[in-house]
Structure 1
Amino acid sequence: MEAGDIDAVVSEQHYPDGRGVDFLKQMRVVHPNTIRILVMETVRRDEIVKLINDAAIYQVVGAPWEPEQISLMLKRALESRELARRHRYLSHELKFADAVLHRQNDSMTRALQETYEFDKLVFCSNSMAKLCNQAKKAAATDLPVLIEGETGTGKELMARALHLFSARSKQIFLAQNCGELSDSLLQSELFGHKRGAFTGAVGNRLGLFPAADGGTVFLDEISDISPVMQVSLLRFLQEGEFKPVGADQTHHSNVRIIAASNRPLSQLVEEGRFRRDLYYRLRGLELKIPPLRERPEDIQVLTDYLIKKYAEKSSRRVVGISAEAMQRLKCYDFPGNVRELENEVRRMVAMTESGAIITVDQLSPEIAQSRPGLQNLRGIELPQGEGFTLKRTVEFIEAQLVRQALHRHHWNHSRAARELGLSRVGLDNKIRRYGIERATDGVTQNG
């Protein structure tokens, strides 16, 4: 029996070589989860209590007994054990959640918060979820896509995800930054060139468009291309044809174009710096990636993901990040967006000893100095007029901060209270005091 996986044992009390209760006591050590049933000819109350305590027996059966009785007892015992197992699991999960809510253990919060991935884009915010749902629909088409967003928001990752979810996913994906090359070099990179087309052209070169025939080409920083290149690109988008530099013949290529810009192309069009017809060609479908400061809820899931990623790469074991350090990250604006956060996490992992937790000491100085609440004041327009004394102005700001916290946490009072440094009762009092209602998400002030 020591080598087996035993669900239940039914034993008599008397054997030639010993007592059944001693055998069940040994089974309790070897197989603690096994259901133990003892059959006795005579059963006294004091003896039953002693036997149950000694061997943790599930049931003592007295004679005479019937097979159906033992069968039913075993069935009920196995059901009871399964319910107990589920109860232990659920109790553990509830205690786990309670620890998260009361100790702000951010490394555990991820287990309670659903994290989404669109290829290598990691997020949990509603804004990114809506955007990626749009991107999946865009990927199913063959239209050009224009991705706009600040530097470091993950425009190339979005482009790769669009290719991966498209019908061209088995073909090649090629990327080119248009802002770092002159016109002649960019022409050569995109369309190719013939030998002797210009000084240094010692051989024929296949450009990105012919090389990616059937696949996808990602053009980053499209806003930086010159008017001459805009004309060449417009012709390719309209007809699918191009001429390599120095060539006489026209070639065709079936390529899907995904373009990206860190500046609004519509604004450049109005300023006369970008062709309107090219803009409309590129904007078959348009995706705008919000900056990280507008989706602070993504900071935690991104940080956890990046800690795991760089800890594995460096063969280090990083337990997680402290609640205070995570709060400082959430309070920082991240002008460099996800790229800046990634560099920060990579540096923190490198500075943390293996087996330790990341603390405020590992943060860069500018992030370590950030404080909760201060970044939210930028979104509040202060009231004007004679009636707003210092007291009323402070109350107005306080009401706005409470409303914003409730909105960010989808009216989860516990999480909003923790962010604001309040108790649940304190938060409820402020909601009543300022007349904050969920239906309209409006704010009214007494007095």
Structure 2
Amino acid sequence: MTRRVLLVEDEAILRIPLGNELRRQGYQVRVAEDGEAGLAAIHEERFDIAVLDVRLPKRDGIELLRALRDRSPETVAIVMTAYGTVEEAVTAMKLGAHDYLLKPFPVEALLITLSRAGEFIDLRRENVNLRDRIDQLHHFGNIVCGSKRMKEVCDQARAVAAADITVLIQGETGTGKELMASAIHHESARRPGPFIKVNCAALAESLLETELFGHERGAFTGAVRQRPGRFELADGGTLFLDEVDDLPMPVQVRLLRVLQEKEFERVGGTRSIRVDVRILCSAKAALEACVAEGRMREDLYYRLKVATIVIPPLRERREDIVPLAEHFVRRYAGEAGKRMQGIDPAAMRVLLEHSWPGNVRELENAIQRAVVFTRGEVLTVDDLPRDLLVPGGSAPGPAATALAPLHDAMREAERRHILQALERTGWRRAKAAELLGITRETLWRKIQALQIAIPADVAEE
């Protein structure tokens, strides 16, 4: 593809040989001898790349750069400057110039810079095309469904959303069960009502009972006022019970009654309270196994399993990795106020070849960390978390067959163990620290040292 280049240089001794060399290299070149002619060219034509001298007669390069930004923001600008005007080059970079060259420079330096600019243009075009493809993907709520398997899952979810029935959402940790529950609620007739969430694994039995059903004043020590439970708060809407496979047996009995009779009593109360609530629940383990092991009532199992949605792990739907990664880059770059162009091919290969035991949440955390720490506009392999590159993390190339150093393997094992504790407790650091047998301060130091990204929706403790 022939690229159109605008060359604005007032010195003929540079302008003429540079223009001739660029034409020999296959570029379509328009030259201008001053700022006025350069400005006219900007208004008359569209260019892929503009090479501008900073100091020009009539109008300077900074003014031309502003004109490019307003009239042709897609044009990649390269500025040329002498040693005494480096500050002006810095100003130009702040105005959006892609690169700069210090005079005097060999023509090879310009050719290399133009080649890099061309690669940038190609990558940007690929990202635009990818965004167009993402916009055309099958979506369900905020869920990106690019693969055939996820499209089928989304079709099932859309069907059950229209029916006011109990839905069990199954899948490994990090597959997006809560996001699926939220999408089902917002696609249902109950969307004007509340969507209330409870993590059943994060609370002790006594606390969970109070959390779900509320309590009366004086029901127990410290109950100084009446408090409504999540069932009351969800009246007219949807209640999502996350990790329902961890429900204690006494709470299962009370939950079964609500599902059957649509009523319950607060802890310490005698008055029955009727509610209109749809139940969505998730489980990381197969509930059939929980029934067989005696950890779940069989009658509750059948009440919960009216309809089942199974979200496949990310390793079984690798077609979703690219659109998900690009989605997270845009999201976290926007939150950080950064201008990001996407992910380079080598880094994308690492993402595609990783096994993703933590599923979409692990991918999201990896991209969030990379966006925060990168200094460039394109994520590279160097920006990715180290655990994606160690053998066993599926880094590409022959090194992937070698054993990792013991220190790296132990660090990775510790990181995954802490992640598992945090996810199991709903990212409640105090509860996770208790589960791990360490103090909150120690856990926080390890989170920082192991570069574990805390999801944006997790409240501060």
TM-score for the superposition, normalised by structure 2: 0.58
Residue in 2 aligned with 1:309?
A: 331
The letter for the 2-side match of 1:117 is H
Alignment CA distance shift 1:165-1:112 (3 Å) = closer
Equivalent residues of 1:331, 1:373 under 8 A apart: no
Alignment CA distance shift 1:252-1:359 (3 Å) = same
1:127-163 CA-to-partner distances (Å, cap 9, x unmatched) read 1100011001100011100001111111110000000
Is 1:287 matched up with 2:309?
yes
Residue in 1 aligned with 2:389?
A: 368
365-374 or 254-263, which moves further after superposition?
Answer: 365-374
SS in 2 for 1:299: helix
User: Looking at CA atoms only, which structure, 1 or 2, has the larger radius of gyration?
Assistant: 1
The letter for the 1-side match of 2:385 is S
2:354 corresponds, among 312, 326, 332, to 332
Equivalent residues of 1:222, 1:260 under 8 A apart: yes
Is 1:187 matched up with 2:209?
yes
Residue 110 (structure 1) shift: 4.7
Residue 202 (structure 1) shift: 0.5
Equivalent residues of 2:315, 2:355 under 8 A apart: yes
Uncovered stretches (5+) of structure 2, i.e. residues with no partner: 1-40, 47-118, 402-461
Aligned equivalents of 2:241 and 2:306: distance in 1?
Answer: 15
Uncovered stretches (5+) of structure 1, i.e. residues with no partner: 1-27, 34-95, 378-447
Residue 104 (structure 1) shift: 12
Alignment CA distance shift 1:359-1:243 (3 Å) = same
Residue in 2 aligned with 1:172?
A: 194
1:162 corresponds, among 177, 184, 190, to 184
Aligned equivalents of 1:372 and 1:123: distance in 2?
Answer: 26
SS in 2 for 1:179: coil
Q: What is the percentage of aligned positions where both structures have the same residue? A: 46
Q: How does 1:321-400 map to 2 (within 5 A)?
A: 321-354=343-376, 356-369=377-390, 370-372=394-396
Residue in 2 aligned with 1:131?
A: 153
Equivalent residues of 2:127, 2:341 under 8 A apart: no
Residue 372 (structure 1) shift: 4.7
The letter for the 1-side match of 2:378 is I
Moved beyond 6 Å, runs of 4+: 28-33
Equivalent residues of 2:145, 2:154 under 8 A apart: no
SS in 2 for 1:136: helix
Residue in 1 aligned with 2:104?
A: none
Aligned equivalents of 2:152 and 2:219: distance in 1?
Answer: 47
Aligned equivalents of 1:154 and 1:339: distance in 2?
Answer: 8
TM-score for the superposition, normalised by structure 1: 0.59
SS in 1 for 2:201: helix
Residue 251 (structure 1) shift: 1.2
Is 1:254 matched up with 2:276?
yes
Q: How does 1:64-79 map to 2 (within 5 A)?
A: none
SS in 2 for 1:174: strand
SS in 2 for 1:273: coil
Residue 270 (structure 1) shift: 1.9
Residue 188 (structure 1) shift: 0.9
Aligned equivalents of 2:171 and 2:219: distance in 1?
Answer: 37
Alignment CA distance shift 1:236-1:323 (3 Å) = same
1:394-437 CA-to-partner distances (Å, cap 9, x unmatched) read xxxxxxxxxxxxxxxxxxxxxxxxxxxxxxxxxxxxxxxxxxxx
Residue in 1 aligned with 2:247?
A: 225
